[in-house]
Structures are given as structure tokens and as C-alpha cells.
């Protein structure tokens, strides 16, 4: 059961009562000199859709990740990041590094053959 804060309009006295929600309206009808007051703003609960914000669909996020991957350096890539995990990025960097090393080694080998 919640605790409600009331004020006596005649005396200005503020007090709290612990009662069921269903008991609140009859109590206020029986005591017209008492009104309900709020010490703090009521909490807004619920999902973001009720506030005008919508969560984007998972499929949309996947699509934006693929667009970001295809267009590195774009604002889409900056906002949505990469769909690849950190591990996948590291593996790709390592593979690329070894391709460069192999390319250098094969270039050196071909230079040795020419001389």
C-alpha cells in the first residue's frame, strides 16, 4: 500500500496517510477540507514509445551496420559503428598485416631471382 501526502486546507497542516488506492477517493469525499498534495513530481514510468521516442528495429540496426561497414569514415559508420565484434576486427587487421608481409616477401624473392 502506498503512502499519500495530504494537506488540510483550513489549517495548512501537511500529513501522510498509509492507505489502499481504493480508499483514497472515499477519504477525500468524506473530508472536503483535505486535498491531496505531492511533495515530488510523480515518476513517469513506461517505455520510451509513450514519450514520443521509438526504439529502432534490430533489422534496421543490422542494415545500418552493413552500410557503415561499406562506407568507412561516413557519419553512418560513426553513428552505428561496425557490425563486427572487436575480435573480428582484430583478426581482420592481423590477416591484412600478414598479407602485406607476404607481399613484401614475395617481392623480395622476385628481386633476388632477377639479380
Q: Is 42 a member of any domain? A: no
How many other β-carbons are positioned within 10 Å of the β-carbon of residue 21?
Answer: 9
Task: Say if residue 25 is in the same domain as residue 67.
Answer: no
Residue 21 near residue 34, CB atoms below 8 Å: no
Count of domains forming the chain:
2
d(CA 6, CA 33): 10
pLDDT at 9 over 80: yes
What confidence score (pLDDT) does residue 25 get?
Answer: 92
Task: Say if residue 62 is in the same domain as residue 99.
Answer: yes
- The answer to whether the predicted template modeling score (pTM) of the entire model surpasses 0.75 is no
d(CA 74, CA 70): 9
Query: Cell for 44?
Result: 513517469
Q: Which residue has the cell 592481423?
A: 94
More confident residue, 42 or 95: 95
Amino acid at each position: 500500500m502506498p503512502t499519500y501526502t495530504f494537506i488540510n486546507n483550513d489549517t495548512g497542516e501537511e500529513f501522510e496517510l498509509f492507505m489502499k488506492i481504493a480508499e483514497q477517493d472515499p477519504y477525500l469525499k468524506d473530508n472536503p477540507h483535505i486535498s491531496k498534495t505531492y511533495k515530488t513530481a510523480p515518476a513517469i514510468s513506461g517505455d520510451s514509445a509513450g514519450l514520443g521516442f521509438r526504439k529502432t528495429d534490430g533489422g534496421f540496426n543490422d542494415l545500418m551496420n552493413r552500410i557503415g561497414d561499406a562506407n568507412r569514415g561516413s557519419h553512418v559508420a560513426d553513428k552505428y559503428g561496425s557490425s563486427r565484434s572487436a575480435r573480428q576486427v582484430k583478426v581482420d587487421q592481423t590477416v591484412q598485416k600478414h598479407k602485406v608481409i607476404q607481399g613484401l616477401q614475395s617481392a623480395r624473392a622476385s628481386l633476388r631471382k632477377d639479380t
